[in-house]
């Protein structure tokens, strides 16, 4: 027995809960001690493997680095450090291993204490960072953005292929060109250069819009620092936004067409797939759509905030499998169009939800904030409690049968109350009923 109870107890105090793999082997390289991390790795407790070869337990060949380095420590009496690639049945590990001799008070080595740290993730990161220069250059040259590196002397030191093409040059011949002449079209460094005027320290980053390179670009100029924190050059990255501007113009056109469509329609219906893309859109009968909406998403037709809400409610209806009813406001140019929307899942033959149908009924056009709703509040007070309940359910899109089932009354009773409501309020269309309910705060 190499270790007595006191030594094992001392090991357990500092090693039992360590994430490192901690073990002790004897002169035969057999296990004398394992902490919980090693036991978890090999799937066995110390009592089950005591005396067995440690290298065998971690699936390493007898001539591998573990046994070789165990032997070195026993023979030299000196500690040894090395990296060990461990091939386990389910994964590969890279361990940083340190072996230290255990002595009996004299010079003779009785055993070896091993501490192994899992550095697999670190090694993977290092492998990525140490990617060859050729691979790095290939990656840079594959970038669609225009990239250049310039020194403090304002001379270009490196460009990628996209930038060389814009400069009507090649990667090699572009080196040494004056950066402010070729990149900015100026006869001297611009004010935002990291190395002029108050920016002489090079610690500032600038973002400017320019068109000298034959396209509308947003350019970012940022300093390159050495190991001591000194600016030794700057990185220029230009992003072509010509297509972005065109896309923005298309979206603005789509927004305007959608505004005209919603303003001219008392109701609309649409079908969207589960991601929110429109596969069907219809307004009032006989109206011609001013814009091809099929295949578009809400982000092509509305501002980003509104579009996000429209897509989110589609996904909510798909996830829940239930109808959603809500008020939807579309504001543009100081005018708000208010709709009552019912969003319903569409199921296929086996019950799967493949799309969502939305029926929108216009309930208001608000040209300024603070519309007076007192008239509606006063008139709604003339309705009985039962009439208010029925008005609320019908305005939310329920049929007479559904409202009757909800309230536990007959369909005929619901229809009678509906007639009384419309007579009291002097309303003649369902859309007017919905509009009234919304303005009265019943939705």
Same domain, 98 and 186: no
Please check whether residues 229 and 254 belong to one and the same domain. Answer: no
Same domain, 11 and 98: yes
Shared domain for 254 and 359, answered yes or no, is yes
Report CA torsion sign: 70, 71, 75, 79: negative
- Tens-level pLDDT at each residue, the chain (443 residues): 566 666 777 777 777 778 899 999 999 999 988 888 888 888 888 889 888 998 888 877 767 899 999 999 999 999 999 999 888 777 788 999 999 998 877 778 889 999 999 999 888 877 765 654 555 556 667 677 888 888 889 999 988 888 888 888 898 899 999 998 888 888 988 888 877 754 545 445 666 777 677 777 777 888 887 777 777 888 888 877 766 666 666 667 777 777 777 777 777 888 999 999 988 877 654 555 545 677 888 888 888 888 899 999 999 999 999 999 888 888 776 678 888 888 999 988 888 998 999 988 877 665 543 444 344 444 555 778 888 888 888 877 778 888 888 788 888 898 888 888 888 887 777 777 777 777 776 66
Domain that holds residue 28: 5-125
Q: Write phi, then psi, for 112 (nearest 5 degrees).
A: -130, 130
What CATH code is carried by the domain that includes residue 288?
A: 3.30.450.20
Q: Using H for helix, E for strand and C for coil, what is the string for 315-357?
A: HHHHHHCCCEEEEEEEEECCEEEEEEEEEEEEECCCCCEEEEE
Please check whether residues 295 and 314 belong to one and the same domain. Answer: yes
Look at residues 69, 101, 125 and tell me which one is the last residue of a structural domain.
125
What confidence score (pLDDT) does residue 393 get? 81
Number of domains the chain is built from: 4
> What is the predicted pLDDT for the residue at 248?
65
353-366 and 335-347: which strand pairing?
Answer: antiparallel
Same domain, 25 and 109: yes
What whole-number distance in Å separates Cα of residue 64 and Cα of residue 250? 66
* Residue 130: φ, ψ to 5°: -90, 20
Q: Answer yes or no: are the C-beta atoms of 318 and 353 closer than 8 Å.
A: yes
* CA dihedral of 314, 319, 324, 327, whole degrees rounded to 10: -40
Q: Is 261 exposed, middle or buried (0-12, 13-18, 19+ CB in 10 A)?
A: buried
In terms of Cα–Cα distance, which of 185, 20, 208, 196 is closest to 117? 20
Specify whether the CB–CB gap between 21 and 116 falls below 8 A.
yes
Q: Which one of 366, 386, 420 terminates a domain?
A: 366
Residues ≥6 apart with Cβ < 8 Å to 186: 180
Look at residues 212, 240, 268 and tell me which one is the last residue of a structural domain: 240
Question: Looking at the structure, do residues 250 and 230 belong to the same domain, yes or no?
Answer: no
**Residues 203 and 283 grouped into a single domain:** no
Same domain, residue pair 277 and 306 = yes
Asked if 271 and 280 touch (Cβ cutoff 8 Å), the reply is yes
My answer on whether 117 and 20 are in the same domain is yes
Do 185 and 295 lie in a common domain?
A: no
Q: Are residues 97 and 206 in the same domain?
A: no
């Amino acid at each position: 027995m190499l270790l007595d109870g006191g030594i094992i107890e001392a090991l357990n105090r500092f090693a039992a809960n360590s994430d490192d793999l901690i073990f002790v082997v004897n002169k035969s390289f057999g296990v004398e001690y394992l902490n919980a991390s090693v036991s978890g790795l090999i799937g066995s407790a110390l009592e089950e493997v005591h005396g067995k070869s440690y290298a065998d337990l971690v699936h390493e060949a007898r001539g591998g680095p573990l046994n070789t380095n165990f032997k070195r420590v026993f023979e030299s009496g000196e500690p040894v450090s090395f990296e060990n690639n461990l091939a386990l049945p389910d994964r590969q590990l890279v361990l940083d291993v340190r072996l230290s001799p255990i002595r009996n008070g004299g010079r003779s080595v009785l055993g070896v204490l091993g501490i192994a740290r899992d550095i697999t993730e670190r090694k993977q990161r290092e492998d990525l960072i140490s990617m060859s220069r050729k691979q790095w250059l290939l990656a840079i040259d594959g970038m669609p953005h225009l990239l250049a590196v310039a020194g403090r002397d304002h001379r270009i030191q490196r460009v990628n292929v996209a930038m060389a093409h814009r400069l009507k040059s090649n990667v090699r011949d572009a080196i040494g060109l004056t950066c402010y002449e070729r990149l900015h079209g100026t006869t001297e460094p611009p004010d935002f250069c990291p190395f002029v005027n108050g920016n002489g320290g090079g610690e500032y980053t600038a973002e400017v819009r320019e068109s000298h390179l034959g396209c509308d670009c947003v350019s970012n100029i940022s300093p390159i620092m050495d190991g001591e924190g000194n600016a030794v050059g700057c990185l220029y990255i230009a992003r072509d936004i010509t297509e972005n501007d065109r896309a923005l113009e298309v979206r603005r056109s789509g927004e305007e067409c959608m505004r005209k469509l919603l303003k001219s329609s008392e109701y609309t219906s649409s079908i969207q797939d589960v991601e929110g893309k429109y596969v069907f859109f219809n307004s009032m009968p006989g109206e011609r759509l001013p814009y091809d909406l099929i295949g578009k998403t809400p982000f092509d037709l509305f501002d980003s905030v509104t579009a996000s809400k429209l897509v989110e409610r589609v996904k909510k209806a798909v996830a829940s499998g239930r109808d959603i009813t809500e008020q939807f406001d579309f504001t543009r140019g100081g005018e708000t169009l208010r709709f009552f929307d019912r969003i319903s899942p569409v199921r296929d033959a086996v019950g799967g939800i493949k799309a969502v149908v939305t029926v929108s009924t216009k309930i208001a056009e608000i040209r300024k904030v603070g519309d007076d709703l007192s008239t509606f509040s006063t008139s709604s007070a003339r309705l009985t409690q039962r009439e208010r309940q029925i008005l609320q359910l019908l305005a939310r899109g329920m049929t007479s049968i559904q409202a009757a089932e909800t309230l536990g009354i007959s369909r005929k009773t619901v229809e009678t109350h509906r007639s009384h409501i419309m007579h009291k309020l002097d309303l003649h269309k369902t859309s007017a009923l919905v509009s009234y309910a919304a303005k009265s705060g019943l939705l």
